[in-house]
Homo-oligomer: A and B are copies of this chain.
Amino acid sequence: MNMKENRTWNHHVVKEGNKSLVMEMIKNESPISRAAVASQTGLNKGTVSSLVADLMDDHLIYESGPGVSSGGRRPVMLLFNGSAGHSIGIDLGVNYLLGILTDLEGNIIEKKELNFKNHSYEEIEKKLFEVIDLLTSIAPPSPHGIIGIGVGVPGIVDTNGSILLAPNLNWKNVNLKTVIETKYRLPVIIENEANAGAYGEKQFGVGQESENIIYVSAGIGIGVGLILNGSLYKGANGFSGELGHMTIQVDGPVCRCGNQGCWELYASEQALIAKAAQLNLPVPAKQELELTTLISLAENGNQEIITLFEEVGDLLGVGINNIINTFNPQQVIIGNRLASSNRWLEESLNKRVSKQALWFQQNDLQISFSELSTLSAALGVSAFSIENFISVRMQPKSFV
């Protein structure tokens, strides 16, 4: 909520804001007493008591036993009720589908993964429904049930949640949001995979402490999710973060996007495989060259391949330098499939950055590889639903 919105300010807004404040405090600092919430937020004790009662009515929090006294009456500790509902998050990849069921704290209750190749939209939709049905049926009973479904997709999603373009899936103008909403009658969020990953890292991963995070999703291509001032930046139409197509070599080779010298031609899985294809590798003739193949070769100490990884790490660094100069972030997180090769990428990447990024940008700057690995996007979309669910619950009842 922002003062520049043309929304009027009244008692409802005040209550909504304070309820959020209390909720946030309990979620982050739990277990915590009413008195501590009051003193830390600056709210009056009575106000906190009343808001806490509301939240308990709504099953979003609960009282655990008494805590330890600090010289007076023992406090009643409050905890966030992560099991008040569950959320479904789906990472729809180019050749896989990963679905998770999480509680409201992002704990994964169930995980279901499928692989496929060159499927039509209809086939993928069918698989998607199957996974959603499965996860729904597994969800433990809870006061709010399934609170929403989120899907991360490898493509361009506009601000209405419509998939404008997913080149690697061969999709155009697919309104998946409406399809799922109609079938399941639940709030649905469709989001670009990089944006989802960024949010996942911010909520549950290595980015929890930072307000300005750039998440580099390095897979077949490169997509980037931007967390600026604590919230996701999507641009005027939702198309921000297409940094895979940032020029890093003006006279470089032509990309399928029409541009020349795009970053992802140099520093993605695609780039790695293209380079490897030109080597004379000890790979069974008919086997397709894949990232996993290269990784196992590198693990076996194949120096040629290791050098290849290092080159890619260096060129990842070039783009990350540009990102640093652009955003002055606290944190850059490299995620998606290439993140698993961090041990060969990290050194050359860091060397490039420390050598060439502007010195003042390097203070307080953290460059990390994702630890959620392949789960960040699914966790991210799940988190969007959770965030949305909770924010609706903060409104006074007459509004809901």
Q: Is the CB of A360 within 8 A of B156?
A: yes
Is A279 an interface residue when CB atoms closer than 8 A count as contact? no
Interfacial chain B residues near A3, Cβ < 8 Å = 1, 17, 20-21
Stretch at the interface among A96-104, A233-241, A297-305: A233-241
- Closest B residue to A323 by CB, please name it: B326
**A107 CB to nearest B CB, Å:** 23
Bound complex: CA A361 to CA B158 (Å): 11
Instruction: Name 15 A/B residue pairs within 8 A (Cβ), A-sorted.
Output: A2-B2, A4-B24, A6-B40, A6-B41, A13-B17, A210-B236, A228-B233, A229-B233, A235-B327, A243-B325, A245-B358, A246-B322, A246-B326, A248-B249, A326-B326
One digit per residue, 1 when the CB lies within 8 angstroms of any chain B CB and 0 when it does not, for chain A 359-371 equals 0110110000000
Is A277 an interface residue when CB atoms closer than 8 A count as contact? no
Is A356 an interface residue when CB atoms closer than 8 A count as contact? yes
Is A164 an interface residue when CB atoms closer than 8 A count as contact? yes
Give the interface of A toward B (CB within 8 A).
Answer: 1-4, 6-11, 13-15, 17-18, 20-21, 24, 40-43, 156, 164-165, 210-212, 224, 228-230, 233-243, 245-251, 257-261, 266, 315, 318, 321-322, 325-330, 355-358, 360-361, 363-364
Interfacial chain B residues near A224, Cβ < 8 Å = 326
Q: Is the CB of B259 within 8 A of A356?
A: yes
Q: Is the CB of B18 within 8 A of A257?
A: no
Q: Is the CB of A250 within 8 A of B322?
A: no
Q: Is the CB of B360 within 8 A of A236?
A: no
Beyond A9-B13, A233-B229, whether A239 also contacts B328 by CB under 8 A is: yes
Interfacial chain B residues near A356, Cβ < 8 Å = 247, 258-260
Bound complex: CA A292 to CA B340 (Å): 54
Q: Is the CB of B241 within 8 A of A326?
A: yes
Interfacial chain B residues near A246, Cβ < 8 Å = 321-322, 325-326
Q: Is the CB of A258 within 8 A of B355?
A: yes
Q: Residue A240 contacts which of B10, B315, B326, B355 (CB distance < 8 angstroms)?
A: B326
Q: Residue A237 contacts which of B24, B259, B364 (CB distance < 8 angstroms)?
A: B364
Q: Is the CB of B14 within 8 A of A242?
A: no
Q: Which 7 A-B residue pairings sit nearest by Cβ, starting from the closest?
A: A235-B328, A9-B17, A239-B328, A242-B325, A9-B14, A259-B356, A240-B328
Q: Is the CB of A8 within 8 A of B43?
A: yes
Interfacial chain B residues near A236, Cβ < 8 Å = 210-212, 328-330, 364
Interfacial chain B residues near A7, Cβ < 8 Å = 42
**A274 CB to nearest B CB, Å:** 17
Q: Is the CB of B6 within 8 A of A21?
A: yes
Q: Is the CB of A318 within 8 A of B2?
A: no
**A395 CB to nearest B CB, Å:** 12
Q: Is the CB of A240 within 8 A of B318?
A: no
Interfacial chain B residues near A330, Cβ < 8 Å = 236
- Closest B residue to A229 by CB, please name it: B233
Q: Is the CB of B249 within 8 A of A251?
A: yes
Bound complex: CA A240 to CA B323 (Å): 10
Interfacial chain B residues near A43, Cβ < 8 Å = 8
Q: Residue A13 contacts which of B6, B14, B211, B239 (CB distance < 8 angstroms)?
A: B14
Q: Is the CB of A18 within 8 A of B14?
A: no
Beyond A360-B156, A364-B237, whether A243 also contacts B326 by CB under 8 A is: yes
Bound complex: CA A3 to CA B360 (Å): 31
**A93 CB to nearest B CB, Å:** 21
Interfacial chain B residues near A241, Cβ < 8 Å = 326
Bound complex: CA A43 to CA B6 (Å): 10
Interfacial chain B residues near A230, Cβ < 8 Å = 2, 4
